[in-house]
Amino acid sequence: MVEEKIEDSEEKKSTPLGVHALKGGKKKTKEEEAEEEDKKLTDIPGIGPGTAAKLEAAGVYDLMGLAVLGPKELAEMAGLGEAAARKAIQAARQMMNLGFSDGLEFSEKRKSVGYITTGSKNLDNLLGGKGVETKSITEAFGAFGSGKTQLALALTVNVQLPLEQGGANGKAVFIDTEGTFRPERIRQLAVRYNANPDKVLKNILVARAFNSDHQILLLDKIAELIKNGEPIKLIVIDSLTAHFRAEFSGRGMLADRQQKMNKYLHNLMKLAESYNIAVYVTNQVMADPAQMFGDPTKAVGGNIVAHASTYRMYLRRGKKDSRVAKLIDSPNLPDNETVFQVETDGLHDVEID
């Protein structure tokens, strides 16, 4: 079944799902552009062309970009006073409620959403039932060895499955910032579906990103591939934050880093929505000295990453060889926890004995 499908997608260069998504995607991009043109930064009371120019120079281009900022961040970015920054953010958030589609329209839009199974039913359920969603960014953060990359690799295989097997009948792009992509590991994962490992590997387009600029540039390349008919249904970025963190590490560089990441995530979300693609990103944790109790770790990137990802999961090692995944701040699911384990052929539920 899998092999048939993979051959199919290689021959035609685009699966039915891919073609459909491409058409829908182009239409939606225009709509989106029109929508965005309607609402400019200067439409916010108190923001004149001068401040708008400052904001744009700081990487904030639209109401969404503004709405997700914290007052301190914005003040630092645009050289505004903190009170003025707070007012602008509040105004942006209020105005964004105006142009929204009604619930029925929204539910129609949601029908085109596709899913990619993680391999573990528990983990799929945590993410709403069927795994990682298209038109969304799913972020996994956690310590080293918590399973972030293992999930990434499993998804690049599972995305190739036909819809009825929990895939999206498409190809994967893997942006590798840490040199963690392992073809041998993909071969092991292919065994689960009796798939030809070479064919599975052919459907994963891997690019090593050497620095943050390179990582940003690769998004344009992905858009190009899609326009050329590659049926890409999954983009993995492992890790999203490592380069940004390493390159912008000084105290005064925080605003620069957030600005760049803000723009990057915005473009990533656009790609996901326009072409009906699932985006999975990994994120490191850092010690949070402000937190005295509980888990003393916090995702790198702070607010901006939190707002841009539709699903955020915190992964950690559990009892025996298990992994615990905790869902955080999902728009439509309760915060919840589940257990899975990493095996040679992929992610599985933990056997209860």
Ligand X SMILES: Nc1ncnc2c1ncn2[C@@H]1O[C@H](COP(=O)(O)OP(=O)(O)OP(=O)(O)O)[C@@H](O)[C@H]1O
* List of residues contacting ligand X (CB under 6 A): 142, 144-150, 180, 188, 342-344
Binding region for Mg ion (CB under 5 A) out of 3-11, 114-122, 144-152, 335-343? 144-152
We find the least distance from the C-beta atom of residue 192 to ligand X, in angstroms, to be 12
Q: Quote the tokens at residue 183.
A: 């073809």
Binding region for Mg ion (CB under 5 A) out of 4-12, 179-187, 311-319, 320-328? 179-187
Give dist(CA 35, CA 143) in Å, integer.
Answer: 39
**Does residue 150 belong to the site contacting Mg ion (CB under 5 A)?**
no
Query: Which C-beta is closer to Mg ion: that of 148 or that of 171?
Result: 148
Alpha helices in 177-334 (DSSP H): 183-190, 197-202, 212-227, 242-247, 254-274, 302-308
We find the least distance from the C-beta atom of residue 38 to ligand X, in angstroms, to be 41
Query: Which C-beta is closer to Mg ion: that of 47 or that of 154?
Result: 154
We find the least distance from the C-beta atom of residue 149 to Mg ion, in angstroms, to be 3
Q: Which does 145 bind (CB under 5 to 8 A by kind): ligand X, Mg ion, none?
A: ligand X
Binding region for Mg ion (CB under 5 A) out of 172-180, 250-258, 271-279, 307-315? 172-180
DSSP reduced 3-state for 2:
helix
We find the least distance from the C-beta atom of residue 120 to ligand X, in angstroms, to be 13
Total number of residues shown for the chain: 353
Angle value at C-alpha 23, between 22 and 28, nearest 5 degrees: 95
Counting residues that bind Mg ion (by CB under 5 A) gives 3
Greatest CA span in the chain, whole angstroms? Answer: 66
DSSP-derived letter for residue 193 is G
What distances in angstroms separate CA 260 from CA 59, 140, 178, one per listed residue?
A: 7, 20, 19
We find the least distance from the C-beta atom of residue 203 to ligand X, in angstroms, to be 20
We find the least distance from the C-beta atom of residue 253 to Mg ion, in angstroms, to be 24
Site string for Mg ion, 249-288 (x = CB under 5 A): ----------------------------------------
Q: Which does 116 bind (CB under 5 to 8 A by kind): ligand X, Mg ion, none?
A: none
Site string for Mg ion, 85-124 (x = CB under 5 A): ----------------------------------------
Give dist(CA 215, CA 228) in Å, integer.
Answer: 20
Binding region for Mg ion (CB under 5 A) out of 113-121, 145-153, 199-207, 210-218? 145-153
Cα torsion 31, 34, 39, 40: sign:
positive
Binding region for Mg ion (CB under 5 A) out of 141-149, 196-204, 270-278, 329-337? 141-149
**Does residue 149 belong to the site contacting Mg ion (CB under 5 A)?**
yes
114, 129 Cβ separation under 8 angstroms: no
Give dist(CA 126, CA 131) in Å, integer.
Answer: 8
Spatial neighbors of 327 by CB under 8 A, at least 6 apart, are: 126, 127, 311, 312, 313, 333, 334, 335, 336, 337
We find the least distance from the C-beta atom of residue 341 to ligand X, in angstroms, to be 8
DSSP reduced 3-state for 195:
coil
Q: Quote the tokens at residue 262.
A: 């803000």
We find the least distance from the C-beta atom of residue 150 to ligand X, in angstroms, to be 4
Binding region for Mg ion (CB under 5 A) out of 121-129, 176-184, 190-198, 199-207? 176-184
Angle value at C-alpha 263, between 257 and 265, nearest 5 degrees: 95
DSSP-derived letter for residue 112 is T
Query: Which C-beta is closer to ligand X: that of 149 or that of 309?
Result: 149
Query: Which C-beta is closer to ligand X: that of 180 or that of 297?
Result: 180
What residue ranges bind Mg ion (CB under 5 A)?
Answer: 148-149, 180
